Structure 1
Amino acid sequence: MTRSPLALTVMALLQYKPLHPYGIQRLIKQWGKDKVVNVGQRTSLYRTIDRLTAAGLIEVRETGRDQAYPERTVYGITDAGRAVAREWLLDMLATPKAEFPEFPAALSHLLMLAPQEIRDALDRRVRTLDETLAALDTDLGAETGYGIPRIAMLEAEYMRVVIAAELQWLRSVSDDLRSGALAWSPEEMLAFAETPE
C-alpha cells in the first residue's frame, strides 16, 4: 500500500482504541490534525480505510447498529498495521520528500505577469497568511490552556514557524518589487531565453 498522511493518521488514531469512521474523522478535527491531513471529503477517509483493510493493516472489529444511527463498522489496527505505521512515521520524519506544491510552481512563472499584478497577488497572499497565523496562534494559546502536552502540538508549532518565515520572505519580495530592486525587462528575459544550446 502507498503511504499517505491520512493513512498514517488513521492507523495512529486506531492505536489508541478501535473506532468507526465518524469517530476517526471527529478525532482528527478535535485533535487539530485536520490542519495537516486533508479530511474535507469524507469519501477520501472511507477509501483510505478500505485500502488499509485490504492491505491487512486494519481490520473490522465489530459492526453495530444503534437506533439513532445507521450501521457502524468499528475498525482496529492489526500488528502488521502497527509495524507499518511505525516504519512510515520514522521514514517521514527522517527523509525529506520532494513535494511539488502549487506556490513554488506559480513563482516559477511570474514573468507572465506585470510587476503590479505580482505585488497585488503577493499582498493578497500575505493577508491570507496573516489571518492563518493569527488563527494558529489562537489555537496554540487555547491548546496550551487545556493542558495538551507540547508533543501533541509540534505540527502546529512547525506550521507556525513555516508560515512566519514565508510571510517574512513575501514581504521582502513585495518591498523589492515596490522599490524597483527586483526588476526585469522583456528584452533582458528574451536574451536569457535565447542562450545557445
Structure 2
Amino acid sequence: MKQRKVTNPLALAVLAELMVEPMHPYEIGRRLKGHDTDQSIKYNQGSLYMVVKQLTKAGFIASQETVRDTLRPERTVYALTDKGRHELFDWLSDLVAQPVNDYPQFGVALSLMSVLPPAESVRLLTQRLERLTTQAEQIRQSRQSAGNDGVLWVFLIDDDFRLALLEAERQFVTELIESFKQPAYMRAWQETLGSQT
C-alpha cells in the first residue's frame, strides 16, 4: 500500500461525495449520513471539517465559492481537483485489490481466551452470538427497506459485506461455543489452568 498524504478513510468518502458535485462540508456530512457511511467510517462534524482542511492543503479539493443565504452562516463550497480525482481512484483501487491484515479486537480476545474458564467462555460467546444475530437482522431490515425504495444494489454492497462478515462470525462463534463445551477441553483446562484461578 502506498504512503498517502491524507490517510483518514473519511477523506476517501469526502472525495467520493465531491465526485458527484461540488458542495459544502455540511452537505457532505448530510449525504454521508444518508448513505449510512457512518456504519463503515467513524466520524463527526469536527473530524469532517478537519479532513476537508487536510484535503485542501494536499491539493485534492479546492474552494469553489462561498455562499450565504439569510438563514445560514456563510458556507464554502468545495470541488474535487484533478489531483483529487486521481487520488480517489488510486486509493480506492488499492483498497479493493489489496487485502490488508486488520487487527480486530475480537482476534486479540481469541488469542488469549484460553485463560477464561470454559463455562465463562461459553457465557460470553453466547452473549456475543445474540448481539451478532441482532446486528445481522438490523442490516437485513435496513437493506430490505432500501431495496424497496429502489436503491440500486451497488449502493448496498457495503451492507452485503457487513452481513457476510456477521454471518461468518456467527457460524464461527456457534462452533466455538460447542468446542468450549467439550468435556475433553474442560478437563484439559482444569488440569492446566484451573488450579491457578
TM-score (norm 2): 0.88
Partner Cα separation in structure 1 for residue 21 and residue 169 of structure 2: 38
Runs of 4+ deviating beyond 3 Å: 179-184, 186-189
Structure 2 residues not aligned, in runs of 5+: none
- Equivalent pairs, count: 189
- TM-fit CA distance, 1:31: 1.4
Contact 1:115 1:177 in 2 (8 A): yes
Secondary structure of 1:108 counterpart: helix
What is the 5 A alignment of 1:14-53?
A: 14-39=18-43, 41-53=44-56
Corresponding residue to 2:103 among 91, 100, 103: 100
Task: For residue 9 of structure 1, report the CA deviation from its aligned partner.
Answer: 0.6
Q: Distance in 2 between matches of 1:25 and 1:120?
A: 40
1:144 aligned residue (140, 144, 147): 147
CA distance in 1, matches of 2:136, 2:184: 28
Give the SS at the match of 2:20: coil
Q: Could you say which residue in structure 2 is the equivalent of 1:157? A: 160
Q: TM-score, normalised by structure 1?
A: 0.88
Q: Which runs of 5+ in 1 are unaligned?
A: 190-197
Alignment partner, residue 75 of structure 2: 72
**Structure 2 CA distance, aligned partners of 1:2 and 1:118?**
41
Query: Aligned to 1:63, which of 46, 62, 66?
Result: 66
Deviation at 1:60, TM superposition (A): 1.0
Q: Bigger CA drift: 180-189 or 7-16?
A: 180-189
Q: Quick one: distance in 2 between partners of 1:49 and 1:162?
A: 31
For each residue in 1:78-101, what CA deviation from the matched residue of structure 2 results, as whole angstroms up to 9, or x when unmatched? 110000100001110000112112
Q: Residue type matched to 1:80 in 2?
A: K
SS at match of 1:109: helix
- 1:194: which partner in 2? none
Root mean square deviation of aligned Cα: 1.8
What amino acid does structure 2 have at the position aligned with 1:31? H
Flag the structure with higher helix content: 2
Where 2:62 maps in the other structure, the secondary structure is strand
